[in-house]
Amino acid sequence: MTTSGRQGATAWRTLGRCLVASAMLTFVPTSAHAQPSPQSAAGQPAAGIPQATGLPLPRFVSLKSDKVNLRNGPGTDYPTSWVFRHAGLPLEVIKEFEGWRQVRDAEGTTGWVIQSFLSGRRTALISPWDVKTGQQIPRVSIRSDDSQSSRVVADVEAGVIANILSCDGAWCLLAVDQFRGYVEQTKLWGVYSREVVK
């Protein structure tokens, strides 16, 4: 893992309590932790391989429900390792098995959820670090246009969930509560670097 990748992973762990508060995540003690997302380490998704659904892996989705069990395997007989408690939370789908999806969250924790609890609606977490530099970012500015020189619409704390309206590969147009504006893609978790979202 690169230095920036280690710093990014450390930043997520450092802000874990903040994310628990903002994303309302409940922990059930088990050994279900996994390595950080390939996006965190490399800034790009792995090569997409079409699956039974016809959709590439990995890919980002979001939660439909305010309570979703994350299980240790693809079935209700497997124990629950986490409980997600916030609709709209972005997750990365990394594997498929029948009606189940193996997902990874922003902290690198993996597990299985029922496909019906997932939505194709794109959301993102305001990242606590810049993917390019590995520097911590306690707040991110939402801007009126896709330029660093444009007016600041609002400053948003790391860990806040935003709705993605579109992305051009460098900037994303987001909606956070009543605010709407642009954020650089490198400051978001839930969209790949240089990914275009329409």
Contact between residue 77 and residue 69 where contact means Cβ atoms under 8 Å apart: no
Q: Distance of alpha carbon 139 from its chain centroid, rounded?
A: 17
Same-fold call for 3-121 versus 125-197: yes
Residue 12 makes CB contacts below 8 A (sequence gap 6+) with 19, 36, 40, 106, 107, 108, 128, 129
pLDDT of residue 63: 98
pLDDT of residue 117: 97
pLDDT of residue 133: 79
| b (16+ CB within 10 A) / e for 155-176 | ebebbbbbbbeebeeebbbbeb
What region, left, alpha or beta, does residue 110 occupy, with left being phi > 0 and alpha being psi -120 to 50 degrees? beta
Q: How far apart are CA 158 and CA 137, in angstroms?
A: 7
Q: Tell me the fold of 125-197.
A: SH3 type barrels. (2.30.30)
Q: How far apart are CA 136 and CA 114, in angstroms?
A: 34
Check whether domain 3-121 has CATH 3.40.1000.10, yes or no: no
Task: For the chain, 198 residues long, give each residue's pLDDT as a single digit of tens.
Answer: 444 443 444 344 333 333 333 333 333 333 333 333 334 333 444 445 556 678 999 999 999 999 999 999 999 999 999 999 999 999 999 999 999 999 999 999 999 999 999 999 999 999 888 777 788 888 999 999 999 999 999 999 999 999 999 999 999 999 999 999 999 999 999 999 899 999
CA distances from 80 to 25, 26, 30, 186 (A): 13, 11, 9, 32
Show me where the domains of the chain are located.
3-121, 125-197
pTM: 0.74
pLDDT of residue 52: 66
Q: How far apart are CA 5 and CA 181, in angstroms?
A: 28
pLDDT of residue 12: 40
